[in-house]
Amino acid sequence: MQIRDLPYPDPGTPDARSGPRFLYWLGRNQLRGQLKSLSWGLLHQLGVAGLPLGAGLAVQAVVDRSGGRLALAGVVIALFGAAITVGDTMLHRAAVTNWITAASRIQQLLSRKTAELGSALTRRVAAGEVVAVSTGDVEKIGWFVEALSRFLAAAIAVVVVCVGLVLYLPSIGAVVAIGVPVLALAVLPLLPRATQRADIQRDKAGRATELAADTVAGLRVLRGIGGEELFLTRYRAASQEVREAAVRSARMWALISAIQVFLPGVLLITVVWYGALLAGDGRISVGELVTVYSAVTLLLFPLRHFEEIAMAYSFSRPSATRAARVLRLERTSYEDERGGLDDTRPTGDLYDPATGMLAPAGQLTAVVCGDPDAAGRLAERLGGHAADEEKLPSVLLGPVALDDLPLDAARASVLVQDKDPVLLSGTLTELLDVPASGAVQPKDALDAAQCDDVLAALVQASVDGSGDPLRSRITERGRSLSGGQRQRLALARSLVADPEVLVLDEPTSAVDSHTEARIAEGVRRLRGGRTTVVFASSPLLLDQADTVVFVHEGKVAATGSHRELLREDSRYQDVVTRRTDAEAETGTGTGTGTGTEIEITSDGGTLMPTPLAAREQLEEIEESA
């Protein structure tokens, strides 16, 4: 694989069971590049290792006053010099190619996983961790992949030099052959502690990154409540923790580097001292002493690669573990005996066997759940995005389990809009340009979502002066808009998509009651004949639903119309009216719904809501009862 061939047509299926397994899979899939880098590395390292032989021949030729052997030594040195030059140049090229292609492969895998999981990714993995994996961790993993072939070349060169010295001059070669493995293995006892400190540093850096991302995302809110300094203080504290952890990690690596300098120095002094004694006794020649001394000196260069690979693995292992944790997130998928289902879009009722929730086809179903977190998890399940730890049966759309559908078919059949939808930067036309049936026009969707004031604000903020709100640009994540405006634009985008089943999680939590009432009517009108599930507790939305499903403690507790459940189920009253436990015990009190205050009295569960429209609504309930 060459850099010009990137991106990969298919980055493959990673072995994400653990960090080391992921690194092994990555190296195995780049075997050709690793072998190429290893070959050039061997040429370079053996060229370096051969220079002492030429130097020894040259010194001995001068001592013996032999011009022919001096010329031969010059040729040998020139050949080894050429090998070093070519090998080093091509090694760098091949190693950097391995680095870039490995990083590109990981980026493609992460992009594919992000597209597969969508917004569910950041609900399963912290946003800071996702950022750390896609930036710094990719670089560290690429470093290990790049350093691996150079280390192998250095290790082979060290073995060749040691064996050659033993054969060339056994008396000193034996000392070198014993000392070099000691040098290479001396730092191994320190590596676990160095790795542990590096892991701590990375964890703290990930938390600091997550805090920074949260601060930037909520900067508008922080400014509104005057909380900027509080979060800046927290980030400063987190940064100091990262700095202290980095210093502790650097101290350990400095100790390892010092050992890597000290011990080779001791070996070099030992070899020179012992070799001088042998040369003084006439047991070896001056040229042989120069050869051995030069060989030991140049051995320090490949030995540096032992320290580098230890550092690279120490830094890349936790990074690979984090990447593997993201990459092993999967949608559950089952295939039948025929080898799977074809890419069809089923229709019918939406049914969740785990809770017993049933949303009839073609109707507007409201789901009331006292626990907002449980409501969010149920909404994810209805879209086929159940968390990995949930071992629950699949949601059914008609007779077909969502887990049995191909991903594209499942996404096209069921669209989930969570309570914090994301708006991508670009024009409003680009925002609404989503895969859709074509049955709903953008103007109709914007009208149903009550976006008139949003369009006016976009025209006012437009810099092109066109006066066309559809050509107005939306800033990153819609930060220039209010929460209610972002929520309504996201709702319009979902309505334009016009899926078979639309699941809305608190779609009007950030708008006022009058706008909410009009949105409820607009959604009901525009989604007529389509299956719509709304997670809400607002009476204004609930009264528009064909069926209201009350989920309590993970199971469906009651089903009926909003008015029926108000009369018959006290637990439903508690959730919808926000009635406290103390008020429920006495049978009186004031509960607060979305934009509606409701007084609860003890005379048969009579509810007297304000404003006037809600009061008249419940008076009708009393008369009909």
Cβ atoms within 10 Å of 547's Cβ, excluding its own: 17
pLDDT at 615: 45
pLDDT at 126: 67
Tokens representing 504?
């809305």
Residues 469-496 pLDDT 10s: 888 888 766 777 888 888 999 999 999 9
Instruction: Tell me whether the omega of the peptide bond preceding residue 372 falls within 30 degrees of 0, making it cis.
Output: no
Instruction: Tell me whether the omega of the peptide bond preceding residue 499 falls within 30 degrees of 0, making it cis.
Output: no
Q: How far is CA 252 from the centre of its chain?
A: 29
Residues 69-91 pLDDT 10s: 889 888 888 998 899 899 989 98
Query: What angle, 0 to 180 degrees and rounded to 10, lies between the N-to-C axes of helices 286-327 and 228-280?
Result: 150
DSSP lists the bridge partners of residue 558 as 550
Q: Which helix (H) or strand (E) holds 235?
A: helix 228-280
pLDDT at 343: 46
Work out the widest C-alpha separation in the chain, in whole angstroms. Answer: 125
d(CA 283, CA 288): 10
- Going by C-alpha positions, the residue among 172, 90, 88, 103 that lies closest to residue 133 is 103
Cβ 26 vs Cβ 102: under 8 Å: yes
pLDDT at 46: 82
d(CA 45, CA 42): 5
pLDDT at 597: 43
pLDDT at 366: 95
Q: Residue 137 has what DSSP assignment?
A: I
Q: Kindly tell me the sign of the dihedral angle through the C-alpha atoms of 394, 114, 387, 538.
A: negative
Strands 589-593 and 596-600: antiparallel
Residues near 49 by beta carbon (within 8 Å), at least 6 away in sequence: 157, 160, 161, 164, 295, 298, 299, 302
pLDDT at 402: 82
Q: Which helix (H) or strand (E) holds 558?
A: strand 555-560
pLDDT at 338: 34
3 state DSSP class of 555: strand
d(CA 15, CA 184): 31
pLDDT at 221: 56
d(CA 556, CA 571): 12
pLDDT at 542: 92
d(CA 11, CA 105): 6
Mean pLDDT of the chain: 80
Cβ 59 vs Cβ 287: under 8 Å: yes
- Going by C-alpha positions, the residue among 381, 321, 275 that lies closest to residue 140 is 321
**Residue numbers of the chain with a pLDDT score lower than 50:** 333-343, 589-618, 620-622, 624-625
The model carries a pTM of: 0.53
DSSP lists the bridge partners of residue 559 as 549
d(CA 480, CA 474): 8
Q: Which amino acid is it at 264?
A: P
pLDDT at 247: 92
Q: Kindly tell me the sign of the dihedral angle through the C-alpha atoms of 275, 276, 277, 279.
A: positive
- Going by C-alpha positions, the residue among 206, 202, 193, 190 that lies closest to residue 318 is 202
> 587: number of CA atoms within 13 Å, CB side?
6
d(CA 200, CA 247): 11
Residue with tokens 């405006």: 485
d(CA 614, CA 594): 12
Cβ atoms within 10 Å of 432's Cβ, excluding its own: 20
